[in-house]
Amino acid sequence: MNAFLQHRFKHLAALAAGLLLSLSATAQTVDGTVEKIDVEAGKVTLRHGEIKSIDMPPMKMAFRVADPKWLQTLQVGDKVKFDAAKVNGQFTVTAITVVK
């Protein structure tokens, strides 16, 4: 690859990475209700709808959270929209917002 192509390729790769970031920052897709908050364990129990990204049917289960600070702002009974992924083998909430 010549230097010009290499430069173009890096530019495209950066654009693609930026696009992925902005996509993942868009609205959360899964509906849920906060059932329990365990600050010690860094977990939140959610009754959730289908999670297509990890092929999971609706159920009630505990998730780790990507940022423990979120546990301070959530309250039992909150309706939420969230995204989840398997991180280091554990189901993890990667983004969450309370629905008013």
For Cu ion, the binding residues (CB under 5 A) are: 56, 59, 61
Question: Between residues 12 and 59, which has the closer beta carbon with respect to Cu ion?
Answer: 59
Question: Between residues 10 and 52, which has the closer beta carbon with respect to Cu ion?
Answer: 52
Q: How far is the CB of 77 from Cu ion (least distance, A)?
A: 19
DSSP for 46-84 reads EEE--BGGGTB-SEEEEEEESSTTHHHH--TT-EEEEEE
Element of type H or E holding 40? none
- Which residue's Cβ lies closest to Cu ion? 61
Q: How far is the CB of 56 from Cu ion (least distance, A)?
A: 5
Q: How far is the CB of 61 from Cu ion (least distance, A)?
A: 4
Count of CB atoms situated within 10 Å of the CB of 17: 10
Q: State both tokens at 96.
A: 């969450």
Question: Between residues 18 and 58, which has the closer beta carbon with respect to Cu ion?
Answer: 58
